[in-house]
Amino acid sequence: MNKRGIKLEICRQNEYSFLLLLQGQIWRRTFGEEHVETKPVISCDRSHKEYDLCSINGATVVNPVTSTFFLMGPTVYGSGSIVEKIKPFPRKWESFPMKRIKEVSITSAPSATKCEVRHNSPAIVFAAGGYTGNVFHDFNDGFIPLFITIRSLYKNQDVILVVSKARDWWINRYKNLLRVLTSHPIVNLDNDTSTHCFPSATLGLISYGFMTLMPNPSQTLLQFRALLDKAFSHHVYSTLNLPPKHDSRPRLVFLSRPRGIGREILNQGEVIQITKEIGFDVVLFQPTGMTSLQQIFVLLNSSHAMIGIHGAALMHSLFLRPGSVFMQVMPLGTNWVGKMCYGEPARAMGIDYIEYKINVEESSLVEKYDKDDIVIKDPGSFQRGNWSSDVMSIYLKEQNVKLDLVRFREYLNEIYRKAKVFMDKMG
């Protein structure tokens, strides 16, 4: 096989390497003593539903004041000027969050701006905006795509993060996770006024949908879970005032939702009492935006089971150890989104996942809608793939749940048996 054939075969085997070639980033392979490189170039791939991805292959200068990235030196475009614009956020199919994302410009035009801060590592440019503040979206739209992008495009994973919408609270809340993603300080695209120089830059994040690291088979949620362990496992302190662990009683974390925002378990006190009677040490936990991720990690990483009703807080199931037990309570109309957001990822991490799909009688919606109403009788047909704000409001905000204690006890018994086996094996 000649060199051209070898390169094509490499591209077929690794779509990310092929992406690098198409985008004009430096492509270097050794064939004997020869090396292959592309010329400096700006390119954008806008073919994906979830994201756009632009790359600057060559010396890059960013002016944060104007949110403009300049490719310095001669380009394949000759003397003409190229201008591209991108909103570097992996949710381009949804207009509402994209309205909150700053657009940045990329150009090959010469810039008289001098380099004030020089970096030796490439830049990854993205926005911490959209639905930021919702822990599910912080991970699904932010850290998981960032993990994919770094692992896919940069072999040595040595990158500098250039971030817009990087609020102080966001940086502080996720500082330990950011530290394991990059060893360099973040460049804040909103607050910085100095020009920065990089050897190259990638603008945008790769995403394959809800909580998905595929299609690259070498990337799994277990690898992302290992990243979380690296970020938080050394922080062994906790101010949660946890009850002492009993050697014979598995610990179960029961995630509670605040009142008045929907999907509240109305008979939660009775459910907790039954859970204790079955044999669990129960920690009733209601995480907030002020609760540190280190505390949450310490709690869940030391527990054997978790129960929660569908909601953003279930994202913390990423902190459970593989082999532990996780049950998601599914209100009416949330089966598909519950599986996609939490069920499938839990199984991918090796967690023993269980679903409790409520019956119609357990939903407060029966007080507002007739049992024969399509909202109650056939939520799937009512939604018909339309997860609009009005539909979401019905199933996520208007609905509370009163669990059937007899039926729920049967599930708790199953969870207890599995959690006990896990505790005896793993401690």
In this prediction, what percent of the chain has a pLDDT beyond 90? Answer: 71
CA angle at 315 for the pair 184 and 338, rounded to the nearest 5°: 140
Preceding omega of 217 cis (within 30 degrees of 0)? no
End residue of a domain, out of 186, 219, 252 = 219
Separation CA 254–CA 332 (nearest Å): 20
Whether 76 is in a domain gets the answer yes
232 part of a folded domain: no
Q: What is the largest CA-CA distance in the chain?
A: 77
253 and 173 share a domain?
Answer: no
What pLDDT is stored for residue 6 in this prediction? 38
* Same domain? 179 vs 49: yes
Asked if 185 and 284 sit in the same domain, the reply is no
- Report the pLDDT value the prediction gives residue 28, as an integer from 0 to 100: 35
What pLDDT is stored for residue 86 in this prediction?
A: 98
Average pLDDT for 220-247: 75
- 401 pLDDT higher than 80: yes
Q: How far is CA 186 from the centre of its chain?
A: 19
State how far the Cα of 62 lies from the Cα of 56, in Å rounded to an integer: 11
Both 210 and 289 in a single domain? no
- Asked if residue 228 belongs to a domain, the reply is no
19-45 in b/e burial notation, b at 16+ Cβ within 10 A? bbeebbbbbeeeeeeeeeebebbbbbe
How far is 45 from 51, CA to CA, in rounded Å? 9
Q: What CATH number is associated with residue 375?
A: 3.40.50
Q: Give me 182's structure tokens.
A: 């990059």
Residue pair 56/42 in contact by the 8 Å Cβ criterion = yes
Give me the amino acid identity at 323.
Answer: G
Tell whether 198 and 343 lie within a shared domain: no
Sheet-wide strand order for 251-255: 281-285, 251-255, 305-309, 325-330, 352-357
Asked if the structure places residue 169 within a domain, the reply is yes
The dihedral built from the CA positions of residue 369, 373, 374 and 379, taken in this order, carries a sign that is positive
Verify that 196 and 273 share a domain, yes or no. no
**Beta pairing partners, 363:** 401
**Does residue 227 lie in a domain region?**
no
Per-residue model confidence as pLDDT tens digits over 101-131: 999 999 987 767 788 999 999 999 999 988 9
Number of domains in the chain: 2
Q: Letter for the amino acid at 349? A: M
**399 and 306 assigned to the same domain:** yes
Give the CA radius of gyration of the chain: 24
Domain C-terminal end among 192, 219, 246: 219
- Residue 188: strand pairing partners: 163
Residues 273 and 373 in one domain: yes
Compute the distance between CA of residue 398 and CA of residue 293 in angstroms, rounded to an integer.
Answer: 29
At 79-107, the pLDDT tens digits run 457 899 999 999 999 999 999 999 999 99
| Residue with more model confidence, 383 or 403 | 403
Is the residue at 141 inside a domain?
yes
Q: Identify the pLDDT of residue 8.
A: 37
Sign of the alpha-carbon torsion through 8, 14, 19, 24: negative
Q: What digits encode the pLDDT tens for the residues 209-233?
A: 888 876 666 678 899 999 999 999 8
Residues 250 and 310 in one domain: yes
Residue 356 in this model has a pLDDT that exceeds 90: yes
Least confident of 67-76, 262-271, 292-301: 67-76
Side-chain-facing half-sphere of 185: CA atoms under 13 Å: 8
Q: Is residue 413 part of a domain?
A: yes
Q: How far is the C-alpha of 219 from the C-alpha of 147, rounded, in Å? A: 10
pLDDT range class, residue 31, cuts 50, 70, 90: very low
pLDDT digits (tens, 9 = 90+) for 162-183: 999 999 999 999 999 999 999 9
pLDDT band of residue 244 (cuts 50, 70, 90) is low
Q: Tell me the pLDDT tens digit for each residue of 8-26.
A: 333 333 333 333 333 333 3
Between 27-31, 74-78, 192-196, 389-393, the lowest mean confidence (pLDDT) is in 27-31
State pLDDT tens for residues 126-159: 999 889 889 999 999 999 999 999 999 998 899 9
**Residue ranges making up the domain that contains 17:** 3-219
Q: Which of 185, 219, 253 is the last residue in one of the domains?
A: 219
Of the two residues 69 and 385, the one the predictor is more confident about is 69
Confidence (pLDDT) at 290: 85
**How many helices and strands in the chain, by DSSP H and E?**
16, 17
* DSSP state string for 172-217: HHTHHHHHHH-SSPPEETTT--S-EEEEEEEES----STT--TTST
- 209 and 245 share a domain? no
Give the closest residue to 202 by CA, choosing from 98, 35, 58, 74.
Answer: 58
Q: Is position 170 within any domain? A: yes
Helix (H) or strand (E) holding 83: strand 83-86
* Residue 236 in this model has a pLDDT that exceeds 60: no
Q: Are residues 31 and 132 in the same domain?
A: yes
Q: Specify whether 84 is located in the same domain as 168.
A: yes
Calpha distance 273→97 (Å, rounded): 41
The Cα–Cα gap between 61 and 34 comes to 30
57 DSSP β-pair partners: 41, 200
